[in-house]
């Protein structure tokens, strides 16, 4: 019974949070001159640079009361508040949380050594900007977490407030001889997102990412 319940929660989490690669193939310019951050359609002026997220007092308090969990297969760790159970930890996927708290979902995609990671990440940023203009994203920016530069976005409230709303970050790293795409998200249903916003930021920015 316990295993059936665990499987059901994992299935719910994966369906609810909508894991899927959004990276597009891009032929041509890598777009290195793109602005680094946008909110409500306005672009920042420091082209190509990344922001290092800084915690608010509320987010720092959440981190201070959280405990570290480590993804042993990938060496990545987060600080999670009490009440975030482990659902799954495999070599390339990890899931923590519940419908009551929200979900942390991480996935690793191993790419070929010559995969154009920078071009792909620039394409992801361009795609995210398009969704921002369409009103589907609330914020898009380049964000550096533990020294790794990636594309971060927060989705806007879905039309169905019981639908998923995500805070997501995609990046690349070289780890143990592999060129890896990292896809990290924290999510809950739209009607609960604002209440979880600080918790999600505290979790996302607590991430430690080994390289090399």
Whether residue 199 lies inside any domain: the answer is yes
pLDDT at 39 over 50: no
Q: What would the mean pLDDT of 36-46 be, rounded to a whole number?
A: 39
Q: How confident is the model at residue 48 (pLDDT cuts 50, 70, 90)?
A: low
pLDDT for the residue 45: 31
Q: Give the per-residue pLDDT at 17.
A: 42
Check residue 47 and give its pLDDT.
45
In a domain, 36, yes or no: no
Q: Please write the tens of the pLDDT for every residue from 121-172.
A: 999 999 999 999 999 999 999 999 999 999 999 999 999 999 999 999 999 9
Of 154, 159, 98, 122, give the one whose Cα is nearest residue 47.
Answer: 122
What's the confidence (pLDDT) of residue 35?
A: 37
212 is a domain residue: no
Establish if 9 belongs to a structural domain: yes
Please indicate, yes or no, if residue 51 is contained in any of the structural domains. no
Query: Quick one: pLDDT at residue 212?
Result: 84
Report which of 145, 85, 149 is spatially closest to residue 117, judged by C-alpha positions: 149
Q: Which residues form the domain of 131?
A: 2-19+58-205
Domain-embedded: residue 179:
yes
Is pLDDT of 68 > 60?
Answer: yes
The per-residue pLDDT for range 173-192, each reduced to its tens digit, is 999 999 999 999 999 999 99
| Residue 157 domain flag | yes
Instruction: List Cα–Cα distances, 99 to 16, 25, 154, 158, in angstroms.
Output: 9, 34, 19, 17
What are the C-alpha distances in Å from 164 to residues 13, 76, 110? 10, 25, 26
The alpha helices in the chain, defined as continuous H runs, are: 2-17, 57-64, 117-133, 190-205
Q: How much is the average pLDDT of 21-48?
A: 38
- Number of structural domains, the chain? 1
Give me the pLDDT at residue 50, please. 85
Q: What is the arithmetic mean of pLDDT over 11-27?
A: 38
- Supply the CATH number for residue 8's domain: 3.40.1000.10
Question: What is the pLDDT at residue 31?
Answer: 34
Question: Over the chain, what is the mean pLDDT?
Answer: 84
Task: With respect to residue 170, please indicate whether it lies within any of the assigned structural domains.
Answer: yes
């Amino acid at each position: 019974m316990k295993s059936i319940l665990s499987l059901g929660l994992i299935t719910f989490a994966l369906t609810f949070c909508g894991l899927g690669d959004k990276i597009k193939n891009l032929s041509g310019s890598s777009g290195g001159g793109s602005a680094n951050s946008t909110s409500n359609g306005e672009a920042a002026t420091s082209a190509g640079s990344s922001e290092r997220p800084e915690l608010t007092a509320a987010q720092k308090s959440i981190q201070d009361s959280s405990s570290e969990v480590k993804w042993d297969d990938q060496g990545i760790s987060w600080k999670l508040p009490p009440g975030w159970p482990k659902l799954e930890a495999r070599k390339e996927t990890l899931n923590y949380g519940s419908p009551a708290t929200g979900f942390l979902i991480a996935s690793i995609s191993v790419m070929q050594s010559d995969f154009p990671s920078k071009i792909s990440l620039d394409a992801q940023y361009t795609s995210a900007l398009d969704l921002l203009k369409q009103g589907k994203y609330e914020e898009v920016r380049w964000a550096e977490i533990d020294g790794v530069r990636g594309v971060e976005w927060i989705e806007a409230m879905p039309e169905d407030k019981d639908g998923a709303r995500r805070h997501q970050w995609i990046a690349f790293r070289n780890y143990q001889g592999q060129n890896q795409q990292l896809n990290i998200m924290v999510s809950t249903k739209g009607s609960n997102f604002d209440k979880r916003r600080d918790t999600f930021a505290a979790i996302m920015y607590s991430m430690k990412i080994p390289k090399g």
